[in-house]
Amino acid sequence: MSETADVVIIGGGIIGSSIAYHLAEAGCSNVIVVERGAAQGLGSTGQATGGVRAQFSTSINIQMSLYSIEFFSRFEEATGRKSGYQPNGYLFLATNEGHLDYLKRTRETQRAAGLETVEIVSREDIAAMIPQLHIDDILGGSYCPTDGLIEPLSVMRGFMERASSRGVRLWLSTEVNAIEVEGGEVKGVSTTRGHISTRAVVNASGAWAAEVARLAGVEIPVVPLRRQLVAARLPIDLPARLPMVIDMTDGFHFRRAPLDWTEPGVLLAWPDPMETFGFKMDFDEAFIGKVLTRAAHRMPLLAQAIVDPKRCRTGLYEMTPDHHAIIGLAPNVRGLYLANGFSGHGVMHSPATGRIISDLILHGETRLLDIKPLGADRFIEGRLLEETSIL
Ligand SMILES: Cc1cc2nc3c(=O)[nH]c(=O)nc-3n(C[C@H](O)[C@H](O)[C@H](O)COP(=O)(O)OP(=O)(O)OC[C@H]3O[C@@H](n4cnc5c(N)ncnc54)[C@H](O)[C@@H]3O)c2cc1C
């Protein structure tokens, strides 16, 4: 079988779906999304916590979030599905002067980038906001009320359903195993379902992005890093508008249970500094104790949490050396577009990414943002960014 498409997108997670949506909305629907899973969402998208925030430390990440959060707030109008956006805020807690100074400094960067609503809050403000927290060791924090939560799978489906209704094709259970490049230009892809001739290929393959780029002879520094979430039920409920709470002491953070749970609960997360890179997908039982100790310290009520093993989960972050995405044309291969390396922020940055890649394919440029800082050539030229606000 041989097909022809204007654009082939490799990967049907939230990023590939957003790109397909934005292309179709702009009138380009001869697009094939190739996904090797038997269903969408079996990669990182289906494991994500669902947090969205603009409280970053670099202008480019803040601007990616500002566009995306506004998009989530009108997602149903745009796609017909709910994004589940709950503007409950993100609350960062500082337990030492260094972290508090950092929050004050990043607030200036955030304001300069157009995020006006971040406030530095005192220990007393925090106690009033969430009386259940242990606050003796907290010096202060920062809070942004437009940060919050969304439902990643609903967003992914909303994007793809709307794209499909405009003619985009989704090939499930199909793997791309070669990208044809002739004279420095993309000519097509080979898949387990046949050949597709195309002049534009998008790498939207999440944690597998380095392998997929290599099919076209392109090297990108994206490596997988395991992240685990502990799900637990609670005997009493937490406030409905509980923010995402981040303890800067060690990165422990938690959110209230997703909307589809019928009983009170929490999702608990901690970026284990001993974790090593690799395609590790097993859930490490020893992780539970480490997280629960931190949880009980920050909110004594969480000592009563009853772990729900069926809902505990493991997924992969797609890390780059400077913790920023790689977005734009691949160096040296015309027609290959990269939407990779989100370093754990791909769900929240999916709307902006879809718009940018669609603009680049259809118009050769984007006016949404200056995306030069995210180009893959930064690793060759030594122009690395540094995002220090990683969870
Ligand atoms: C535990 C955890 C919590 C997270 N929490 C958040 C959060 O709160 N907020 C946030 O913004 N982000 C979060 N993330 C990160 C987020 O999940 C990812 O950045 C995002 O899902 C990336 O989307 P994607 O579409 O690029 O990748 P994926 O969803 O992984 O999709 C890539 C797809 O490509 C397919 N594929 C790969 N190779 C091929 C091939 N050769 N042929 C065909 N198909 C292929 C895969 O099957 C996969 O479905 C979290 C991640 C984890 C693991």
Q: pLDDT tens digit string along 254-275?
A: 999 988 899 999 999 999 999 9
- Asked if residue 190 and residue 310 are part of one domain, the reply reads no
- The answer, yes or no, to whether residue 389 has pLDDT greater than 80, is no
Last residue of a domain, one of 294, 319, 344: 319
Query: What domain range is 199 assigned to?
Result: 2-48+153-221+321-381
Percent of the chain with pLDDT over 90: 95
Number of domains in the chain: 2
- Asked if residue 360 and residue 212 are part of one domain, the reply reads yes
- The answer, yes or no, to whether residue 390 has pLDDT greater than 90, is no
Q: What is the pLDDT of residues 293-348, one digit of tens each?
A: 999 999 999 999 999 999 999 999 999 999 999 999 999 999 999 999 999 999 99
With bands split at pLDDT 50, 70 and 90, how would you rate the model's confidence at 384?
confident
360 lines ligand 1 (CB under 6 A): no
- Closest C-alpha to ligand 1, atom 6: 48
- Asked if residue 28 and residue 8 are part of one domain, the reply reads yes
- Asked if residue 359 and residue 335 are part of one domain, the reply reads yes
CB 164 within 8 A of CB 171: no
Last residue of a domain, one of 273, 292, 319: 319
Provide the CATH number for the domain around residue 128. 3.30.9.10
pTM across the whole model:
0.97
Give distance in angstroms: CA of 216 to centre of ligand 1.
21
- The answer as to whether 61 is a domain residue is no
d(C-alpha 273, C-alpha 30), whole Å: 44
Q: What is the pLDDT of residues 101-146, one digit of tens each?
A: 999 999 999 999 999 999 999 999 999 999 999 999 999 999 999 9
CB 165 within 8 A of CB 53: no
Q: Check residue 124 and give its pLDDT.
A: 97
Q: What is the pLDDT of residues 22-34, one digit of tens each?
A: 999 999 999 999 9
- Closest C-alpha to ligand 1, atom 35: 11
- The answer as to whether 202 is a domain residue is yes
- The answer, yes or no, to whether residue 204 has pLDDT greater than 80, is yes
- Asked if residue 349 and residue 270 are part of one domain, the reply reads no
- Asked if residue 287 and residue 331 are part of one domain, the reply reads no
With bands split at pLDDT 50, 70 and 90, how would you rate the model's confidence at 382?
confident
Q: What is the pLDDT of residues 68-94, one digit of tens each?
A: 999 999 999 999 999 999 999 999 999
Q: Check residue 391 and give its pLDDT.
A: 66
Rg (C-alpha) for the chain, rounded Å, is: 21
212 lines ligand 1 (CB under 6 A): yes
348 lines ligand 1 (CB under 6 A): yes
Q: What is the pLDDT of residues 346-357, one digit of tens each?
A: 999 999 999 999
Q: How far is CA 164 from CA 136, 168, 200, 290, 334, in A?
A: 53, 5, 19, 43, 27
- The answer as to whether 111 is a domain residue is yes
Q: What is the pLDDT of residues 140-170, one digit of tens each?
A: 999 999 999 999 999 999 999 999 999 999 9
- The answer as to whether 127 is a domain residue is yes
SS3 of the chain: the string is CEEECCEEEECCCHHHHHHHHHHHHCCCCCEEEECCCCCCCCCHHHHCCCEECCCCCCHHHHHHHHHHHHHHHCHHHHHCCCCCCECCCEEEEECCHHHHHHHHHHHHHHHHCCCCCCEEEEHHHHHHHCCCCCCCCCCEEEEECCCEECCHHHHHHHHHHHHHHCCCEEECCCCEEEEEEECCEEEEEEECCEEEECCCEEECCHHHHHHHHHCCCCCCCCEEEEEEEEEEECCCCCCCCCCEEEECCCCCEEEECCCCCCCCEEEEECCCCCCCECCCCCCCCHHHHHHHHHHHHHCHHHHHCEECHHHCEEEEEEECCCCCCEEEECCCCECEEEEECCCCCCCCCHHHHHHHHHHHHHHCCCCCCCCHHHCCCHHHHCCCCCCCCCC
Give the type of residue at 294.
R
- Closest C-alpha to ligand 1, atom 15: 344
- The answer as to whether 80 is a domain residue is no
